[in-house]
Structure formats: C-alpha cells, structure tokens
Structure 1
Amino acid sequence: MRRRSLLLLGAGATGALVVGWGLMPPRSRLGSAQRPPAADGPVMLNGWLKIAPDGHVLLAMNRSEMGQGVHTALAMLVAEELDLSLGKVELVEAGPSKIYGNVAMFVGSLPLHPKDSEPGRETGGVKAGRWIVSKVARELGISVTGGSSSVADAWDVLRMAAATARAQLLGAASLQWKLPREELQIVDGVISHAGAKQSAHFGVLAKEAAATPVSTVQPKDSKAWRLVGTRAPRTDLADKVNGRARFGIDVRQPGQLFASVRHSPVLGGSPGRIDVEAAMKLPGVERVVRLNPLGGSTAAVAVVGRSTWHAKQGAQALDIEWRAPPAGTVDTTRIAASLEAAAREAATQQGGFAFHKQGDVQAASAAASRRIEAVYHAPYLAHAAMEPMNCTAQVKDGRVEVWAPTQVPDMARAMAARVAGVDVRSVVLHVTYLGGGFGRRLEVDVVGQAVRIAMETNGRPVQLTWTREEDTTHDFYRPAGAAVMQASLDDKGAVSSLAITSAGDLITPRWIERGLPALAGPVDAPDKTASEGLFDLPYAIANQRIAHVATKSGVPIGFWRSVGHSHNAFFSECFIDELAHELKQDPVAFRLSMLRDMPRHAAVLKLAADKAGWGKPLAAGRARGVALHESFGSIVAEVAEVSLVDGKPRVHRVVCAADIGTVVNPGIVAQQMEGAVIFGLTAALHGRIDIEGGAVKQTNFPNLPLLKMADAPPVIETHLVQSANPPGGVGEPGTPPIAPAVANALFVLTGKRARSLPLVA
C-alpha cells in the first residue's frame, strides 16, 4: 500500500488524474438517445431501447444465445418494466459500445470467500473490491457472454433502462393530454386514461418521449411483477423448431465460397513443404492458403472450394510435410505425474499461492489424533459443441464483414481488424445463434483464420468450417489437474484442519494473451479459476490453507463450462464424503454440522435431501450420493441415485436444489439444470483427452462419447429456494455437483473410492 501511495503522490498531474478518476462515479450504462429522432423509423430512448412506429420495443441484445435462454430472460426484464407482452419486445443486435460490456463477469472473477461475501454479510473489503472492479469493467466495456453472468449483469441496467423509458412515455402522454401522470396506466404497450378516454400506443408517443426529461426512476417492486418469475415460453423456440433460426453454419451470402482447414497432427507443429497438385486437380477446389498462428491457433493450411465438401476433399488431398513443435511433444501421462509431484511438493513445503488461509493448519495437524490424505486427478476435456467451429468473412474495399457464432463480439471485431490490417471501425460483425459454446467460443482463432482466407478470395465471402476431427484435436482444453487433500481430526471427532494443494495450468493469462493482448502482462498473476471450488468452501473448519501451484504443461487450455469448479467440486465434495465416512457420520448430517453459519447453503442441502428422500430405503442395488457446491453466485445441491449395470454406473434419478437468487424464468432454470447435469455426466463418465507423442488420441464421437439418451437419467428434478437476492448464475452451476454426487453413490455401492475422472475407465 505504501508503494502505491508514493507512486500516486509522485506522479504529478498523472497521479491527480488517477485520483480524480477514482473519485468519479462509475460510468453510466444507460447510454443516450439519438438527437434528433429518425423521421419515420424507430425512436431511440436510450442506448438499450428503441420504440418502433407500431409500438413494439426494440431491445439492443448484447449477449449471445447458445441455448441458455438469455434472449428470453433479458426480454422479460424489459417487458416487465414496460407492461408489455413478451411478443412485443424485438431483439436487434447491439453494436460496439462500452455500455454493453459485461461488468458482472469481471466482478465475479474476484477470489472472494462466501463467509465474507454472502448477500447482506459483505465485508468492507469485499464491497470495495467489487466497486473498484465494477468501475474498471465499465471503463473497459468488453462484451462477453460467459461466466453465467448475463442475467446478473443485466439485472440493474436493463430494468433501469426500461423503467426510464416507461417514465418518459408516461411523461409524454401526460404533457400531450394535459392529464396527471399518476392517473395514466399502461396495458400491453398502450397508455390510457379511463376518465378522459385518451389512449395511444408507445409508437405514437415515442418522439415526444425522447425529448421528455425524467427525474428519479426506480424499477418496479417485486410485488408488482406479472411476468418475471413465470414460466414464459422461450422467444427463440419457434424459429429453432421450424428451421428459421440462423446459426453460424447457416450463413449464405451471394458468391460465397467455403473453406476447410488442416492443422498439424501434433500439438504445436506447423506445415513445412506442401504439395498442392492433387488437391488442385479435384473438382470444386479454388485455392490453397497458408495460415500463420492466429488467436492461439497453430500454423495451418486451408483449402477454398465451391462447397464445404469440395474444400474438405481438397484439404484431405494435400500432401503436407509437418514440422515438429520447437518445444517438443507433450504426453498426458507425464503431465499427470508432474502435476501430482508439483502438488505433493508444495503441500509438503507449504508452497503455491494460498488463496485462503485461516488459523494454523500445521499446529492443528501436529495435535491431531488422526490425519487423512488423498490425491485426486482430473483429465483434460474437449468442449465438443454440436455446431462445428466456423466463421464467415468478407474482405472488400477496405472493409471487413464477419458472421460468427461468438461469445466475444468485441474480441472478434478486434481480431478481424488486426488480421485484415484495418481500423476496428471498418469491421461489421453479425453474431448468429451458437450451436453450443461451453467456453470454446470465447476464442477467436477461427475468426482470424476466416478473415485471413477471405483476404485471398478477391472480395468474395468465404465460410470456414472445421471438421469434427480438427475441432477435437485442436481445442483449447479444460486443464488437467491434481490435488493433494489433507485433513486432521481432533480427539472429539471433529475436523480440525483442512489443507488442499492443487496444481494445474492457468487459463485466464493464456486467454488474455490470445484475445486481449493489450491487457496481457509479462507475469502470470494468481488466477482464481485455478482454485475456485476449493478455496471458497462454505464449511466451518477452523484451520485451513488452500493453495495452488501454477504450471505450464504446453497443452492449449481454455475456459470450459463451470471452469475450475468443474473438477474442483469433484475433489472437494468427494473428500468431504471421505471425512464423513471416516467419522462414521451421515454425509448430509456431516455437511449440515459444518454449515451452521451458512444458512443459504444449509437450506439448499436440506431441500435436495428432502426431495430426494434421503435416508429412505431404495430398491436393491441402488445407492444415493450427495454433493453441495457454490459457483457463479448460485448454490446447488444434487442427489444422484445410482446403480451398477454390467459393472458400469447407471444414474436413475438426479434431484437438484438451488438458490440462484431472484428467478426470472423458472422454466429456463429447470432446462439449464437438466442440461448441466447431462453435460456434467458426460464428462464424469466418459470425458477425457489423452495425448501421446504430442498427438490427441480422441478424434470424434466414436472415441469421445457423449451421454446417450438411453443412458441419461430418466428423472432430473429441479427445486428452487425462494429468494429476494439479485440473480446469480444458471448456465454453469448445475454441472460441478454431479460428478461428486455420482462418485459418492458409487462408494456406497462398491466400497471403493474413485479419486480420478472419468469414473468409467
């Protein structure tokens, strides 16, 4: 702190600017209305909302729809505040503006412990940290769909934008009709006064509303909600059923060409000599393009053709001499051993970066009557989104137009501009529906490749589509991890200390290097995602040290659905079960005994146990397992009912209980929990990426299996805790608890503790 003070005091005018910026209120995210309004088109009331001549409301949509229902949820917030039917809210693509940046996701990156950050119990330090990060995030204004943050980020700003628009429209009607504003009412977008028999829809009043100032505005009280909290039907459902929905691979433009790409079969390798003769002789093949490393991808070769099939055939016909990676090849067996060794060494020497410390672990361990230690492992995982990686680009007359299923529109624009050598203002981006994201589409490698190929097609648009094999073998994988779990038990039968030392690569620095190079630093800062789900456990254990050892294994890594929680929940919740077994206590009762100061967590766990019939008899050959985990601002408990069929796990029923704060659409929440369970079960039972000699062994779904319909749980229930807190995340929090819940059930069935994923060899 002293160094910072000296820096500011000695900075002269620059220091004054920094202090002045720090004292200023955060940047407004409402934006401003256009001046003057369009003559006969939509009228902009603020940066988020326009009113169409027919009275419909146009919402600037700044988040990508990848099945999570965000387009419906955000439209519901606007419709609620404007007393409008959901069908009268139309979505238009948000352009590049800082008001559309994701503030909540960056605030969520703070490594906060739940005992200090529970709603209503936040410490001063937590409040200050959130305020500072929120302010910085508003200045950066980076638009991202990720971190289960879309509704949380929009909760205040969209409701305020719509409430302000409502006040403007009512004010305009009051002025125009010379009637008291408090006597006016809105019903489905029509403002009226019963006594004076005056009425007009929003479109009639929009221009005057744009010029009507408003004073203090507050969103509706929850008691007045009529839409929020209901199971409103998804707005994207009809188009996805009848085929009108446009995903990235559906883009078709006049004169469009198609491209396919080949990377080295060895990670980090590059193409040397290329014989194109056989490929160029094939019908429909247009040209061959060399690709330098772009956005984290390795150097590659692309073939352009008149269809994706022609391009793919041409790419397969290329005779390429591949160069070995300069850093040598990687091997997952060696990596797993090195991760465990690094974690063990750090655990012995109290090394690694300690994300959470309290009490004296060493003293408690020395005084313990018993000590327990276990080592857990998790493999690399691919994203395996159903829609292959793709992007369509056109470079013509100094401008770039891109059609992409992306989670990061700002980064996609910046990548396109860098590759084409133009100003980012010369890039037009169209964000399509995403056929699955899961973090893979937080990357912009495919955007850079598509733009580079388009620079060679004489102004014609080109659509690059990766094959499933390229996608599987050149992903940015969920990092592999290892964790040494240590606990001590005192002579009263209580857990007196908990020490967790994990090891694995850091995602965030690598992602910043690839997509936000201007923000990249020369030194890797501690990355919360590496230890989340370990350092932030809610259990009351007096002495704790939770640390992580940062490694660089040479495998490309990226964000994967629920990120560090995805495997750290397996480590922590299975070990908690081990402790319960060691103490001969019921797993639910044991957890509850350590949640006396965490009532929200306890309520979720009790709800899940009650709805699952915990403690009641089951059919012969079946067992229940439980797991409780908080991630992305939401608390989820899951109870899995499991049997063994031919020696392999069969999950019959999963009961989910969750506290996600205020629920916007319980139907979508249930869908997301169901999808998260299926996604998590696929990883828990089958997911792994093996690398030998630098080559990824898994290539397509035959050797990278997904959970089949016949193997999915016939019953997945979702039960929600009523809450007045702001919304938490939904898309990811259902994934972390399922692997430990199943593993804990398997222990009951077999008496053997599974400490490595996947659970099926």
Structure 2
Amino acid sequence: MSSTKQRPAGGTEHPRNKQRRRFLLGALGVTGALVIGWGVVPPRSRTGVPDMFPASPGQIALNGWIKIGTDGTVTVAVPPVEMGQGIDTAFAMLVAEELGVPLDRVRTQTVTRERIYGNVAALVDSMPIHPDDDGKPWARALRWMLAKSARELGLIITASSSSVADAWQPLREAAASARTILVEAAARNWNVDPGAVSIRDGMIVGPDERRLPIEHLAGDASRLRPPSSVTLKPASSYTLLGTPAPRVDVAPKTDGSAVFALDVRPPGLRYAAVSLCPKFGGTLARFRESAVRAMPGVVAVVRLDGLSGGPCGIAVIGEHYWQARQALDSASPTWNEGPHATLDSDRIDAVLSAELAGPRDGITYRTQGDGLHAFDDSRGGSVIEAEYRVPYLAHAAMEPTNCTAQVSGGRVRLWAPTQAATLARLVAARVAGVSGDQVDIEVPFIGGGFGRRAESDFVAQAVSVALHANGRPVQVIWSREDDLRHDFYRPQVHARLRARIDGTTPIAIASRSVGQSILAQELGRTFGAPGIGLDRYTTEGMFDMPYEFAHQHVAHLNVDLPVPIGFWRSVGHSYNAFFLECFVDEIAAAAGRDPLELRRALLRAHPRHVRVLDAAAQAAGIEGSMPAASGDGRQAYGIAMHASFGSVAAQVAEVSLQDGQVRVHRIVCAIDCGFVVNPQIVGQQVESGVIFGLSAALYGDIRIAGGQVVQSNFTDYPVVTMASAPLIETHLIASAEPPSGVGEVAVPPVAPAVANALYRLTGKRIRRLPILL
C-alpha cells in the first residue's frame, strides 16, 4: 500500500552559511582541457533544427525536438531511456503544456545521436562542489564552463536522476518555439496580429474564435525562421503540469505490446547463449568445440575476449535460444583461474580494514574551520568514534543482461538496453572497426537499469558475436546466474567517523573512508584511460553534507581491488547516508540530545532541509522529539534525512522485531524535488527507491569465495517481496524551483532510518549492512 500527498512549501530561504569552506581539487584537470578549449566557443543551442529530428512520411519537424503529424499527433524527442521512471510521460507533459495540445495526442520517440540531446546536468553536477558554494563566483564560473563543455560533448546518458532536470528548460523552449511559429503562420494566413492568436487543445485560435488544427499550418510554420527568444508559460497558467496525469506507457505495458530489449525481433534473428569465466581475471583455456558444433541448430561458436571490462568466455549462436543453450551445456569449458583465484570476502575485509587503520591519507574532499586540528588532544570536550561497513551489491534488475547486434555492409545496428547511447556507439564502433557514424542504435524499453545499463560490456560482447553471424542480427542473452555473477557491483566500503562534542554541542566531524573508485574503473573500461584519483562519487553525501558543524574534514582513500564495480542506484549517497545519518544519531546520544532536535539545530541555515525533516516527522505522527520504543518494547521509530541529486528527502521508519526478525511496517517519506511535473510518478519513484534501498539494507550482500561471486539468483540474493513490503507514504513539498532528481533520492535514507529505529528498539548500534541482529 502507498499514498502520495503534496504539502505547501512555507518559509523562506536564509542566507548561505558564510563560514570559510575549501575544496582540494588537485585533479580538476579531468575536464580542464575541455573547459579551456571551449571556453570561448559560443554556447551551443539546444533547440536544434528540423534536420536533427528527421520526419517520417506524414510528419513535419519544427525543430530538433518537435514534429507534427498530418493526423494532429505531436512527436517529442526523448534522449533518456524509459526504464520505468516515467521519462516518456514527463517529456510528453512538458511539450503538451507548453505547446497547448492534449496529452493523449503526444507521442515519444527515442533519439540517440545529435549533440543537442546530450545530458548537460549530469556533467555539471559531476564536480565536488558543496551546495553552499553554488553562489560563489568561482563555482558559478566552473558550472558555466562545464555546461558549455557538456553541450559540445553531447553525451546522451540516463544517469544522476537528471533527465527531467536537464530537459526542463530546452524542451519547454523547443515547444514554445514551435508554438510561436505556428501562431505566426496562422497570423499571416489570417492577416491578424500574432498577439491575437493562441493554441488551445491542439487548435490554433484566432480573433472571433476562428480555428485551425495545428497540423494544417505545420508546413507553413516549418518555413518560418524560428524565434531568437521565446516566452515560456508561467506556472500560474499550467493546467497539466503538476497534475497526476496518466502515464503514456500504461497501455502498451498492460496489453503486452510494449517492446523491451528481449522482445526485439528483426528479420533473420539468431540467438546466442554465453558461458562466462566465473573467476575475476580468469581466461578460457579450452572447451569441447567439436561437441558444441555437432549439436542441432548451432550456427557458430565464438570465443569471448572480455571486452570493455566484461568477462572472457564462449558464445554459441543458434537458430533458437534453447538450441544455443543446450549446445553450450556440452562445451565443458576449462578455465585459467588467473591471479585472483584465492580472493575472498574475508581477504577484502582485511585489506580495507588495514587501509582504514593505516597511515595513507587519501584525497581530502572538504576541510572547514580547523579541520582535523579540531581533534587535537588539547581541545576540550569529548570525542566519539565509530566504524561502519557496507558490502558489495548487485543491481539485480528484473530483465537480465542482453543485447541484439547486427554487423552488415560496413554498418552496425544495435537494439541495446543502454543508459549511455553515446558510449555504446563508441564501443560498438571500436569492436566492429567502423566509425561512430556507421553505428545505429535503437533503445527499447528497459526492464530495470539502476546504473548497470550505463556500462557497455554487453554491447561490445554482442557486436563481437554478431561479427560471426554472416550479417544476420544476433540476440545475446545472459541467464540470471550470468547477470548476478558478472555485474559491476556497488563497491564495498569501510568508514571511520569521529565527532568532538563540547558539553551538549557537537562542534567537529571527520570522516575517512576506504574503497574502490568507480570513476577510475569506468574511465579504464570505456576509454582505456587511467584513473585520476579524484572521484566525487566516493564521498558524495558526505563532503556536501548540509549539517553545520564548525569544523569538518572529509577524505577518501582509493583502494585497488580486482572486483568490478560500477554505478549503482544513488551511487555514493547509498552508503554515505548510512554512515552519516547513523553517526548523527550516535552524536545525539553522546550529547544527551534528541536526534530530531539535534538535526534541526545543525540545519539552522538550511530551512529547506528542516522543512522536509519536519514534514516527515509530522506525517509519521512525531511531535517535537523522537518517541521512545512502544510500551511493550517491540516497536520504534527511526529518522534519517539526506540530500542528493538536487533534492532533499527525509524518512521515518516504523520497525518492530517479530521472532527475532526485523519487520518494517511503514516508511513515511517527505521529499522536496523542486517543481513536481507529475506527483503520481514521483510517488511511484519514491516507493521504488524505498523498496530498492530496503532490499539492500535487509538482505543485500555479494560475497566472494575462490575468486568469484557466490550468489547466483534471487534464492540467495533476495529482495523485498510484496508480502514483506511496508506501507509507504509519500509527502511532496510544494516548490517553485526547477525540477530536481527523483529516481534515486529515496534510496539513501532507508537504511539509516531503519538502523536508527532498531537502536531505539534494542539498544544495539547497527554499523554494518545488511542488518544482522
């Protein structure tokens, strides 16, 4: 069960905290060349021209985002991939509102090539800039230059909960531009002032209520020069945006007509099954190739070289998938185990523990006030310290890894469930030995991405297999076991947090974490480039904490381990929120203060965060301070608040113990994500994030033994089921700010909210995930 409510904003923002803050950004050179090279280039328009969005028969393109059909339908370009988060609906709503057409007449079309569709917001937010520094000249200049660089790069990627935030301005401008030239065409046709013409419900309306369908003037409008500037509708005139409009993908996803990546069926399709080396860094020694080729339906046998960070192995191409799978079972491969055959979870724990206790400092991402000197022995007060650990986690999307590829006539065609079309094109071209212009990509619906589909190993693998298919398309399908054992996992991380408390006032906080760098691995896999050291994902949610400790120090030490890691829903926020929010509760206990009251006190200059925190507490029935465990001592509340991807979320968890097992009865979530385009979809994403985060908190734990992953399916890598899911209540804070992230922001607060509730219930601190009592 779930519910979604909108709450008034209330209050005003206070001035930014003026205390001195400093970043150590020695590795800024990762984008330095781009910034310098493009610093003098005029900003690239993101509205584009009609040729960028080619019209099919019966369509007329008005710019790079909007096409009008002769039947009155409006088609909007959608660069992000729809994987359940409601992107298609949000984009359709933005255009329908600004253009003045009914939502049911808007269609969406995935686009994967032009630079105007590149994700600007994701790159702009990639640098470790504290939100309190956003208004400073250096931060504004850096963001401006990064935005220009992003426009030139044109990286089409669905990541960082940025799709709606990124499209908010350019998509509305494109719709307003289309509206302007349609109005101009009508005004010329009627010989009236354009100010007397408008568009309502898909009809161009002029003086005396004369009307024409927009499709009647699309041709005339396309021949007009687009306006150099447009006036966007004010929010006060919205009739669609901000409403729980029905999703545009409901019908195809309920009647079975929706096409996911596993559903594509190009003519002449063959199928491939794979057997992948189970060991990290292992290689194929030998297999019974003659036995495989003798099996019915076998078309080809391919050795896989482990491209783009993927594993080595064997692929069998068959006329049907079952034939390929059965033939593969006769391969009996023998593997060279490689250099990591003895790696196990205990060894990884020992390495991380030793590094956490060792002398290496790592990279300092933030220091404020006296930094670490605030912990000198000469200072007064008391110091508390705690160590936290989180494990490797798999993505475990419902749709296993797959990709369909065709190499024919010097061109590559992909039907790829990718979150990063630009990178997929680059990798496919490299494997096939063609230019990027010779690669065409179609992106179907994706049955769950969570960051796994931002990788391109499965694309490289599919293209390498298709090279042996005599020009026919091949659909490469992994089993569930392949998917879980050959993932790019969320990294295992250890952290030590310290705080100095003067009386009842916490005055200093320090965090030092150790773990692998996602960015370093990603750069190596995709570009063959070495890591640069700096990786904001390692400390996001920690270095940019809103809590106003006078003295702060946040550092991370990158540790090299052979386990493949990658982006996982909410990335570093997913574990740094657990570290920080549990530790804030520990600080409150040591200072003799209520954890809710302490958070309010530490957020005096951040009323937005306080507003969200109070909304969650009040909705959960908490007034003033956190209540003690229930009278029978078997049920309690825990609270956590975390800011990520431009949004703020707070959650209250209602938890009990039943026969020694943790039972989460209710999660109350308040979220400020800027202007809410569709409250129903935001509510769905909050619910999804809560279930995703709760599954990780209660069960998620990828274990390593003998140099390979132990888990293989949902039997030993469980997730929260419908029967065990809590009641989820979502409360949306009204805001006039532009939309910010939604898809990932409900994940980080879940684990600490549950852990803090369990402490109030049992008196035992939870400092390691998954939660084991």
Which SS does the other structure have where 1:709 is aligned? coil
Query: What's 1:501 paired with?
Result: 512
Distance (Å, rounded) in 2 between the aligned partners of 1:309 and 1:498: 57
Q: How far did 1:299 drift? A: 1.6
When residues 242 and 396 of structure 1 are mapped into structure 2, their CA distance, relative to the original with a 3 A threshold, is same
2:405 is aligned with 1:393 = yes
2:73 is aligned with 1:56 = yes
Please tell me the residue identity of whatever aligns with 2:365: F
Query: What's 1:609 paired with?
Result: 617
Q: Does structure 2 retain, via aligned residues, the 8 Å contact 1:534–1:568? A: yes
2:63 is aligned with 1:46 = yes
Name which of 486, 497, 502 aligns with 1:474.
486
Query: What's 2:41 paired with?
Result: 24
Q: Does structure 2 retain, via aligned residues, the 8 Å contact 1:330–1:555? A: no
In the TM superposition, what whole-angstrom CA distance separates every residue of 1:696-737 from its partner, at most 9, and x where no partner exists?
111111111111111110x10111111111111000000000
Please tell me the residue identity of whatever aligns with 1:595: L
Query: What's 2:541 paired with?
Result: 533
Query: What's 2:164 paired with?
Result: 151
Aligned length: 735
Q: How far did 1:484 drift? A: 0.6
Which SS does the other structure have where 1:295 is aligned? helix
2:147 is aligned with 1:139 = no
Q: How far did 1:482 drift? A: 0.5
Query: What's 2:111 paired with?
Result: 94
2:370 is aligned with 1:360 = yes
Distance (Å, rounded) in 1 between the aligned partners of 2:531 and 2:518: 14
Residue pairs, 1:442-481, within 5 angstroms: 442-481=454-493
2:551 is aligned with 1:581 = no
Distance (Å, rounded) in 2 between the aligned partners of 1:102 and 1:314: 43
Query: What's 2:736 paired with?
Result: 724
Distance (Å, rounded) in 2 between the aligned partners of 1:751 and 1:608: 23
Query: What's 1:651 paired with?
Result: 664
Query: What's 2:695 paired with?
Result: 682
Which SS does the other structure have where 1:757 is aligned? coil
Q: Does structure 2 retain, via aligned residues, the 8 Å contact 1:34–1:45? A: no
Which SS does the other structure have where 1:373 is aligned? strand
Please tell me the residue identity of whatever aligns with 1:718: T
Query: Which deviates more, 408-417 or 679-688?
Result: 408-417
2:97 is aligned with 1:80 = yes
Distance (Å, rounded) in 2 between the aligned partners of 1:484 and 1:632: 25
Please tell me the residue identity of whatever aligns with 1:505: Q
Query: What's 1:571 paired with?
Result: 579
Residue pairs, 1:123-202, within 5 angstroms: 123-195=136-208, 197-202=209-214
Which SS does the other structure have where 1:309 is aligned? helix
Q: Does structure 2 retain, via aligned residues, the 8 Å contact 1:374–1:484? A: yes
Q: How far did 1:287 drift? A: 2.5
Residue pairs, 1:357-436, within 5 angstroms: 357-365=367-375, 366=377, 367-436=379-448
When residues 264 and 95 of structure 1 are mapped into structure 2, their CA distance, relative to the original with a 3 A threshold, is closer
Query: Which deviates more, 211-220 or 301-310?
Result: 211-220
In the TM superposition, what whole-angstrom CA distance separates every residue of 1:385-416 from its partner, at most 9, and x where no partner exists?
00010011111122211111110111112222
Q: How far did 1:341 drift? A: 2.1
TM-score, normalisation: structure 2: 0.92
Which SS does the other structure have where 2:358 is aligned? helix
Query: What's 1:110 paired with?
Result: 127
Residue pairs, 1:255-270, within 5 angstroms: 255-270=268-283
Q: How far did 1:326 drift? A: 3.8
Query: What's 2:17 paired with?
Result: none
Query: What's 1:289 paired with?
Result: 302
Distance (Å, rounded) in 1 between the aligned partners of 2:664 and 2:631: 13
Q: How far did 1:23 drift? A: 3.0
Distance (Å, rounded) in 1 between the aligned partners of 2:669 and 2:56: 52
In the TM superposition, what whole-angstrom CA distance separates every residue of 1:36-64 from its partner, at most 9, and x where no partner exists?
99796311111111111122211111110
Q: Does structure 2 retain, via aligned residues, the 8 Å contact 1:229–1:663? A: yes
Query: What's 1:4 paired with?
Result: none
Q: How far did 1:79 drift? A: 0.7
Which SS does the other structure have where 2:338 is aligned? coil
Query: What's 2:258 paired with?
Result: 245
Query: Which deviates more, 291-300 or 529-538?
Result: 291-300
Which SS does the other structure have where 2:489 is aligned? coil
TM-score, normalisation: structure 1: 0.94
Q: How far did 1:108 drift? A: 1.4
In the TM superposition, what whole-angstrom CA distance separates every residue of 1:264-294 from its partner, at most 9, and x where no partner exists?
1211111011212333333333321101121
Query: Which deviates more, 19-28 or 319-328?
Result: 19-28
Please tell me the residue identity of whatever aligns with 2:576: N
Distance (Å, rounded) in 2 between the aligned partners of 1:173 and 1:701: 59
Q: Does structure 2 retain, via aligned residues, the 8 Å contact 1:37–1:207? A: no
Higher relative CO (CA 8 A, sep ≥ 6), structure 1 or 2?
A: 2
2:274 is aligned with 1:232 = no
Q: How far did 1:466 drift? A: 0.4
Distance (Å, rounded) in 1 between the aligned partners of 2:67 and 2:771: 52
Distance (Å, rounded) in 1 between the aligned partners of 2:247 and 2:638: 33
When residues 748 and 397 of structure 1 are mapped into structure 2, their CA distance, relative to the original with a 3 A threshold, is same
Q: Does structure 2 retain, via aligned residues, the 8 Å contact 1:395–1:460? A: yes
Structure 2 unaligned regions, length at least 5: 1-28
Q: Does structure 2 retain, via aligned residues, the 8 Å contact 1:59–1:92? A: yes
Which SS does the other structure have where 1:537 is aligned? coil
Which SS does the other structure have where 1:758 is aligned? coil
Query: What's 2:453 paired with?
Result: 441
Q: How far did 1:321 drift? A: 1.5
Query: Which deviates more, 159-168 or 313-322?
Result: 313-322
Distance (Å, rounded) in 2 between the aligned partners of 1:32 and 1:73: 22
Please tell me the residue identity of whatever aligns with 1:310: Q
In the TM superposition, what whole-angstrom CA distance separates every residue of 1:513-562 from its partner, at most 9, and x where no partner exists?
22244xx3x34230000001111111110011000001111110000000
When residues 235 and 37 of structure 1 are mapped into structure 2, their CA distance, relative to the original with a 3 A threshold, is closer
Which SS does the other structure have where 1:628 is aligned? strand
Q: How far did 1:20 drift? A: 8.1
Query: Which deviates more, 284-293 or 137-146?
Result: 284-293
Q: Does structure 2 retain, via aligned residues, the 8 Å contact 1:276–1:288? A: yes
When residues 536 and 256 of structure 1 are mapped into structure 2, their CA distance, relative to the original with a 3 A threshold, is same
When residues 24 and 282 of structure 1 are mapped into structure 2, their CA distance, relative to the original with a 3 A threshold, is closer
Please tell me the residue identity of whatever aligns with 2:270: L
Query: What's 1:706 paired with?
Result: 719
Which SS does the other structure have where 1:301 is aligned? strand
**Aligned residues with identical type, % of pairs:** 49
When residues 750 and 358 of structure 1 are mapped into structure 2, their CA distance, relative to the original with a 3 A threshold, is same
Which SS does the other structure have where 1:710 is aligned? coil
Residue pairs, 1:478-557, within 5 angstroms: 478-490=490-502, 492-517=503-528, 520=529, 522-557=530-565
Structure 1 unaligned regions, length at least 5: 1-7, 9-14
- RMSD of aligned residue pairs (Cα, Å): 2.0
Please tell me the residue identity of whatever aligns with 1:498: I
When residues 156 and 413 of structure 1 are mapped into structure 2, their CA distance, relative to the original with a 3 A threshold, is same
When residues 544 and 602 of structure 1 are mapped into structure 2, their CA distance, relative to the original with a 3 A threshold, is same
Which SS does the other structure have where 1:574 is aligned? helix
Q: Does structure 1 retain, via aligned residues, the 8 Å contact 2:53–2:63? A: no
When residues 619 and 679 of structure 1 are mapped into structure 2, their CA distance, relative to the original with a 3 A threshold, is farther
Query: What's 1:5 paired with?
Result: none
Query: What's 2:646 paired with?
Result: 633
Distance (Å, rounded) in 2 between the aligned partners of 1:168 and 1:525: 50
